[in-house]
Amino acid sequence: MAQPAAERSRLGLADIGALLAPFPGRAAATTRIAAASTLTALVAAIYGTPEAAISAYVIFFINRADRTSSIVMSVGMLVLVSIIVGLVIVLARFTLDSDLLRVACMAVMSAGLLFLTSASKLRPVGAIVAMIIGFGLDELGLVPGGEVATRALLYAWLMVAIPIGANVVVNLLIGPSPRRLAGARLAHCVRVAAQGLRYPEAGGTAVAEALRDGVQPVAGWLKLAKFEGSANTADVAALRQAMASTMAILMAADVIGRQDGARLPAAFADPIADTLDEMARMLDAGGYPVDIAVDTGVTQPDATGLSPLQQSVLAELRHAIARYAEPEAAAVAPAEAAAPVSPEPQATGKKPGGFLDADAFTNRSHIHYALKTTGAAMFCYLLYQQLNWPGIHTCFITVYLVSLGTAAESVEKLVLRLAGCLIGAALGTAAIVYVVPMLDSVGGLLALVFAGTWLSAWVAMGSPRIAYAGFQIAFAFYLCVIQGPSPGFDLTIVRDRVIGILIGNLVVYLVFTRIWPVSIAGRIESALNALVSQWQELVAAGQSEQRRQHAATALGLQGAIAQDLALARYEPARVGPGLVWIDQHRRRLGVLDAVAGPLFLLAERFPGDPAVAARLHAVRTAQPPASPAPSVPPATDADTRTRDALLAIVDKQLADSPSGPAHPPASHAQT
C-alpha cells in the first residue's frame, strides 16, 4: 500500500495536490470562515477600529466544525478577554507613565497566559489573548493621557469582540449542527467501507484514513448534540452504537484490504456493499438504519466454503450491520461516561477533566514554553521600538501566532510559514496593484477579502501538513489588503508588514531550536505506550461497544504518532533522536498498524483470550512471545481454525518487527 502523504517526511507536488483535494465538509467550513472574516472586516470598517486585519484573522482560531462548539468557544473567549482587559485597565494607572513598568507588565501577563496556553484548556486561544493584551499595553505608550489610554484598551477589546460577534452570527445562520455532522461523518465512513469491499486493492488507503480520522470526532459531536438539544437521549445512544458499529465495519474492511486471504468473493462482498451504501443514504438524510439485514438469498454460495479468515471477516460485517444502531442493553447507561472523545489524554498524559492538565506544575516544558515565547515576543517588541520602525510591528504579533511546543514542529512549520507568508504577500501585492485601483467602494474591498479568505481557509482546513501555510497566507494577505476602513494602495505598508512576519518567524525558529529545545521523541514514546495500553483495554473489554470505542481511540492515536514520526525528521541532530531511532519506532508503529485488524477480530470473537494479551505484550517489548500462552479453548473446530488463522497473521508481523525496543539517548529524553 502507498504510504499516506501525512506520514511522509517530505511532500511532493502529487502529495500537495492530494492534500488540496476536496473532502466532505471542507467547502462548507471554508465558506463559514470566509463569511465571518468578511463580516468582521465590514464591522471594523464601519466603526474604524484599528488593526482590522488582526480582527479578521482571529476567526481562523475560534471557528470550529460545528456551530455549538464555535459559539461556546467564542463566548468563552469574550468573557476571558473582558476579564483580562478589565485587569489591564486597573494596571494602566500604574504603568501609563513608566515605559519600564509597562514592558514588565506585558512580559508578566504574556508569560502567565502562555503558561496556561501550554498547561490548560486555554490552549486553543491562549496565545491570541496574550497577543491582544500585549497590543493593548503597547498602545498605552502611544497615548498622552489616561482617558485616551482607556480608549486604546477598549479598542484592543474590540479587536476580539468584533470577530467573536461575527463568528456567532455566521454559525447561527449557516453553521452545521453537531447532530448533522455526526450523521454525515458516519455516512462517509460507511461509504468508504463499501468501496473497500468492492475494490479492496484500490480502497485500502481510503479505509486506513477513515480508521485514523473518520470516527474520532463523532463521540464529541454527539455530546454537543445532546447539550444543544438537536438529539434526544435515545438518538444519541443509537448513534453512539452506530459509531461503534462503523468502527467494526471499517476494521473488517481494513483486514480485507491488507490480507489477500481475507477478501470476499463478489457474491458476498457486493450485497454487503450495496447494504452499506443504502445505510449511508439513510445517515445522510438525518436518520439512522435499524433492523438491517444483508441479502442472503439463494444466489449466494454457502459460507462454509470460505476460509476461516474470510468467515471471520464476514461474520464481523454481518453482526455489525445487523445491530448497527441497536445499543447493547448493558451499555446504554454507562455509554455517556465510557465514550472516548479524543486520544489526547492517553497520548500526552494530560488530565481529561478539569481546567489544568495533570502535569501543569510538574512538567517544566510548560514554563519553558511560556518563557521562550515571551522572550521572543519581547525581543521583537524592543527591536522595532529601538529601530523606530513601527511598520514591522507584525514581528511581535507573529511570535504569538506561530510558537509551538517542540523543535520538530518549529522547524517543519517554519517552511510552511515562510511559504505561506510569501504566497499571501504575493497575492496581497497583486491585489493592491491590479485589483484595488478598480475598487470604488467598501463592497469591492469586502469581495476581495472574501475571495482571499476563501482560498487561504481552503488550505487551512486541510491536513496538518499544509494547514499552517493556509493560516500564514491569510495573515499576510490581510496585512497587505486591509490597510484601513477603505481600499489602501500603500506598498510600503505591505513591505514593512511582510518583513515583520519574516523576522517573527525567524526569531521563533532560533529560540525554539536553541533555548531549552524539546524533542518530539518523548511524546512519541509515551504515545506508543498509550497505544498498546488502549489495545490491552480493548482485549479485556467485555462489551463490543467498549471494544470498538477503544479501537477508535487507538487508531486516532496511531495517526497522531505517525504525524509525529514524520515531524521527528525535521529536528536538528543535536536535539532529535536520530534516524535509526525514528526508523525503529516507525517499524514498531507499522507492526501495530498491521496487526490492528486481526487483533480486533480476535478480541471480538474471543474476548479475554490470554494468547491475544501475550501478543500485545510482545508488541510493547518488540520481542516475540517466549512461549505459547495458555488460552481459552474455542467452542468449535471452526472457532479453532479462525483463531489460529488470525494469530498466525499477528505472529508473522511480530516476527518481522525490529528486535528490541529503541529508546532515545538520555540527552533527548526531555519533554
Report d(CA 460, CA 33) in Å as an integer. 10
Asked, for residue 165, whether it belongs to a domain, the answer is yes
Q: Domain containing 422: what range?
A: 375-518
Asked, for residue 430, whether it belongs to a domain, the answer is yes
Check if the beta carbon of residue 114 is closer than 8 Å to that of residue 127: yes
Residues 448, 537 within the same domain: no
Asked, for residue 362, whether it belongs to a domain, the answer is no
In the chain, the percentage of residues whose pLDDT exceeds 70 is 84
Lowest-pLDDT range, 141-145, 208-212, 433-437? Answer: 141-145
Average of pLDDT values for 23-37? 92
Q: Is the pLDDT of residue 412 over 80?
A: no
Q: Domains in the chain: how many in total?
A: 4
Report d(CA 435, CA 445) in Å as an integer. 9
Q: Is the pLDDT of residue 12 over 70?
A: no
Residues 498, 546 within the same domain: no
Q: Domain boundary residue among 124, 141, 176? A: 176
Asked, for residue 236, whether it belongs to a domain, the answer is yes
Residues 270, 393 within the same domain: no
Q: Is the pLDDT of residue 628 over 80?
A: no
Q: Is the pLDDT of residue 622 over 80?
A: no
Q: Is the pLDDT of residue 33 over 90?
A: yes
Summarised one tens digit per residue, pLDDT across range 528-542 is 888 888 888 888 887
Residues 506, 560 within the same domain: no
Residues 35, 161 within the same domain: yes
Q: Is the pLDDT of residue 608 over 90?
A: no
Asked, for residue 150, whether it belongs to a domain, the answer is yes
Burial class (CB in 10 A: 0-12, 13-18, 19+), 298: exposed
Residues 221, 304 within the same domain: yes
Average of pLDDT values for 642-664? 69
Per-chain mean pLDDT for the chain: 81
Summarised one tens digit per residue, pLDDT across range 275-303 is 999 999 999 998 888 877 665 444 556 66
Residues 211, 332 within the same domain: yes
Residues 289, 308 within the same domain: yes
Residue reference for cell 463569511: 35
Pick 276 or 214 by higher pLDDT: 276
Q: Give the pLDDT score at 60.
A: 92
CA angle 451, 452, 458 (to 5 degrees): 90
Q: Give the pLDDT score at 298.
A: 43
Q: Is the pLDDT of residue 220 over 50?
A: yes
Asked, for residue 648, whether it belongs to a domain, the answer is yes
To the nearest 10°, report the CA torsion of 127, 128, 132, 135. Answer: 60
Q: Domain boundary residue among 121, 143, 176? A: 176
Cα end-to-end distance, the chain, whole Å = 33
Kindly indicate the confidence band of residue 165, based on its pLDDT and cuts at 50, 70 and 90: very high
Q: Give the pLDDT score at 82.
A: 87
Q: Give the pLDDT score at 666.
A: 41
Residues 531, 488 within the same domain: no
Lowest-pLDDT range, 210-214, 362-366, 502-506? Answer: 210-214
Q: What region, left, alpha or beta, does residue 593 occupy, with left being phi > 0 and alpha being psi -120 to 50 degrees?
A: alpha
Residues 216, 238 within the same domain: yes
Lowest-pLDDT range, 85-94, 531-540, 590-599, 623-632? Answer: 623-632
Asked, for residue 369, whether it belongs to a domain, the answer is no
SS (HEC) of 405-461:
CCHHHHHHHHHHHHHHHHHHHHHHHHHHHHHHHHCCCHHHHHHHHHHHHHHHHHHHC
SS3 content of the chain, % helix, strand, coil (to 5): 75, 0, 25
Residues 270, 382 within the same domain: no
Q: Domain boundary residue among 157, 176, 195? A: 176
Summarised one tens digit per residue, pLDDT across range 473-523 is 998 899 888 876 666 666 787 788 889 888 998 998 889 888 888 888 888
3 state SS of 361: coil
Q: Is the pLDDT of residue 621 over 90?
A: no
Asked, for residue 547, whether it belongs to a domain, the answer is yes
Residues 204, 338 within the same domain: yes
